[in-house]
Amino acid sequence: MRHVCNSGTCTRGRHWTKSAAEACYRDFLTSRPRTQPLPRPDGDLLASRLRQRAEAEERRRLERLREHLATYVPATAPDSATRAANSSGERQLALLRGHLRAIDALIPITAYKMNRQLRTGIPQEVDDWLTCIVGYESYDEVLADVHAAFAALGNEVRLDEPAQVFRGASDDTHQILALAPGTTFRDDGYLFATPDRDVALYYAGKHVGWGPRGTRRMLMNLRLHSALYLPDPSQRTPSLVESVDGFGFLKDANAQFIVPAGSQWRLDSIDAPVGSDVVEVTCTQL
């Protein structure tokens, strides 16, 4: 349940965490004109109305879900590799039913900062996105929950079959291109990858302008044996559709692999064709 804000001027009216609501009220107290009277908190009445609204929204969500499942037929996976990945993902997410909030927090904005903290050791500043949208009070709290989720997977993080996947990035943010083929290295962050090469190229920066002018885009070809897999929404079983329906990111996330933090890799090759702005890097998970 969201927490009521009693500042009287807050445009949100409520916050995901109690500390965020209290911080907003403190900011109001220090910034208000001395002649402005303090608002009278009517927290009990407002909290009751917010609770009723949340309950009504939940009833509407469940009704939409029932209507969707009544006619839902999962799409057929196009190939054996996708079928094997779907089987892994269905099993893994069933085991993680008590940790879905943590996996749902791995939306891009949160994941970028979370991984920056893991890879650099520099604590990331808490922002409104984290507290008001994601519902956590610090990146340490997010990381603790995500680590616990992957610990709960245990050996089930191993895929039914090895997967060939792709990851896109601009090479100014990586040290991999300075390594020699055959070198092993560790990635302290949670690595995201897709079975779709075109999707990976999009995240390599062609359309979003990442990196300084002239920076090459890097396409990583990854051979995986262990990762959490999120099946494409159209290919999920009704049971999985139902279990993730209340989680925005998980509900709509396209097919993707999330590799555990601390994974070891071997750099197999670097291919930089003349005239191309893409450097292709092949790595194998150890």
Domain 82-285 has CATH 3.40.50.300: no
- pLDDT in the model for residue 95: 95
Q: What does the pLDDT average to over 223-236?
A: 96
Q: What are the boundaries of each domain within the chain?
A: 3-69, 82-285
pLDDT band at 152 (very low <50, low <70, confident <90, very high): very high
Report which residue type is found at 76.
T
| Confidence tier at 224 by pLDDT (50, 70, 90) | very high
Question: Is pLDDT at 184 greater than 90 in this prediction?
Answer: yes
Q: Return mean pLDDT, the chain.
A: 82
Distance (Å, rounded) from C-alpha 69 to C-alpha 75?
13
Q: What is the mean pLDDT of residues 171-190?
A: 80
Q: What is the pLDDT of residue 30?
A: 64
% of the chain beyond a pLDDT of 90: 42
Of 104, 222, 102, nearest to 151 by C-alpha is: 102
d(CA 64, CA 243): 14
CA distance 261 to 138: 19
Q: What is the mean pLDDT of residues 128-139?
A: 81
pLDDT tens, residue by residue, 91-122: 999 999 999 999 998 876 788 888 889 988 99
